[in-house]
Amino acid sequence: MFLETLLLLITIIVGYYWYIYKKAHYYFESKGVKYLRGVPFFGNLMNNLLRRTHLWEDYDVVYKAFPNERYVGFTDGVCPGIFIRDPEIIKHVTVKEFDHFVNNKDLFPEGEESILKNSLVMLKDEKWRKMKAALSPAFTASKMREMVPLMIEISHNIVEYLKEHLTEDIDLDDLMSRYSNDVIASAAFGLQINSLKERDNIFFKAGKDVFNFSLFQSIRMIFSDHFPSLSKKLGFTVIPKSTSEFFRTLIASTVDYRIKNKVERRDMIQLLIQLSTEWTETELAAQLFVFFVAGFETTGNTLINCIHELALNPHIQDILYEELKAFKETKGNLVYENIGELKYLDCVLNETMRKWSAAIFVDRICTKPYVLPPPREGGKPCQLKPGEVIYNAVNSIHMDPKYYEEPEKFIPERFLDENKHKIKPFTFMPFGVGPRYCIGSRFALMEMKILLFRLMLNFKVLKCAKTLDPIKMSPVGFNMNIWGGSWVKFQARKA
């Protein structure tokens, strides 16, 4: 009896996925959209989900399969969507007709009370608009100016640590995550932490737990996406409950302490205290959580890839050093008002974000009926209904030789003022695009520039035996992490 029941269950599951698999194909065929056949259950993401390739590489296979199409079909697991390759269409759906595509795709099953689900990234419609307006004062020029001394102090900790470890191979993944952790702890939470000395502080460990994506977590995430009701009953969550509770408790206790003791500090916690009558505690906690997540991993990851590229390209490192040295000799200290004068540093960071953008793609949910132009000459327009998904290509466009000559090469000069006219609009989108553009982009850029300024003036970055050349992405996780980690040596510059 058990065997018959098991066989029946297996048959039902296989039949269900075969039906969904064929339904996805019919979805594209009915719209006249070309597509690559995926694999039942996995869709077009099988290699990434089996940890063979990075997520971006699976998207890029579909992007490159149809070079003459303006958009193509893409299947995420069992969910079909339209993958947009054409910058002109991206401009329309993210800016000109944004009111048809206001919301991001849900990452969580319906009913899951995840802390991230209440964040600015996942909020929808009018609630998103109100929260964005409420948070914008945290990223004004005056607020950024106040953050500079905090970032300089934390970058000083990094420099002093490296001076004591000049003969060692340095794990950039660990070092940069500690820097970004301490910056976010100070700027958002008002906490003074030195993660290089307090190596197991709970703030740093909580950040690591969020991004320690095991194979089991990946499977659980897919299961939650496919079977939301069952996942809810089983208590599956995408973000570990312990992590969500840590941040809720931390924020609640900090807010309570400041109110009772009349403590004020010009950081994000203080802004949220001012908003506490308009939003729930969970909603406010979510904003700090997503700010922490973006700062901890995304900013840290960009720094890692930038420093790794400088180790592989010493001639670029030399040009950057000469700019920073001349700036130091003529301008003296770095302050908010003069940080924008470092033009080549801008170019180096932009080129890093072109090659190794954390965005990968920008998804949107259709909220009002919309008609895409034909995918090719002679094709038919594509009708989109509310609830259908589009994916706007980011990394694949960044790495398309149609838009960037020799895209696999690290060439910061692409972004010099005299060359910027060659960059076609909507082909460089590391922070997203349109009204949903990353609200913290200015903060992130400033954080990265300050550390690179201090590092390059004090050290040469050199390859070591563990330095991966050329760079290859790890198949684990969503960020652009280097396979096996990023390792370099730092050599002190002569005074």
- From residue 458, alpha-carbon distances to 163, 164, 222 in Å are 9, 13, 46
d(CA 107, CA 122): 8
Pick from 137, 135, 99: which is nearest to 283 by CA?
A: 135
pLDDT reported for residue 39: 84
Q: Where are the beta strands (DSSP E) in 128-264?
A: 170-171
Which pLDDT belongs to residue 86?
98
- Bridge partners of 489, per DSSP, are 462
Binding residues: 438
Strands 79-84 and 389-393: parallel
Question: 């795709």: which residue's tokens?
Answer: 105
Give the pLDDT of residue 208: 77
Sequence ranges of the binding site for heme: 438
Q: Look up the pTM and report it.
A: 0.92
pLDDT at 234: 66
β-strands 389-393, 170-171 pairing: unpaired
Distance between CA atoms of residues 222 and 216, nearest Å: 10
* Ordered mean pLDDT values, 10 residues apiece, the chain (495 residues): 59 54 83 91 87 94 97 91 98 97 80 73 93 89 89 96 96 96 88 91 79 64 62 66 78 81 78 78 84 85 97 98 97 92 98 95 96 96 96 97 98 97 96 93 95 98 97 89 96 88
pLDDT at 231: 64
| Geometric angle at alpha carbon 11, from 8 and 16, rounded to 5° | 125
| Six token digits for residue 280 | 């729930």
| The two structure tokens encoding residue 487 | 């390792």
**Whole-number pLDDT of residue 221:** 65
Contacts of 422-428 spanning 24+ positions with Cβ under 8 A: 424/87, 425/87, 425/91, 426/87, 426/88, 426/90, 426/91, 426/94, 427/87, 427/397, 427/398, 427/400, 427/403, 428/350, 428/354, 428/398
The span from the CA of 84 to the CA of 370, in Å, is 14
Check residue 110 and give its pLDDT: 58
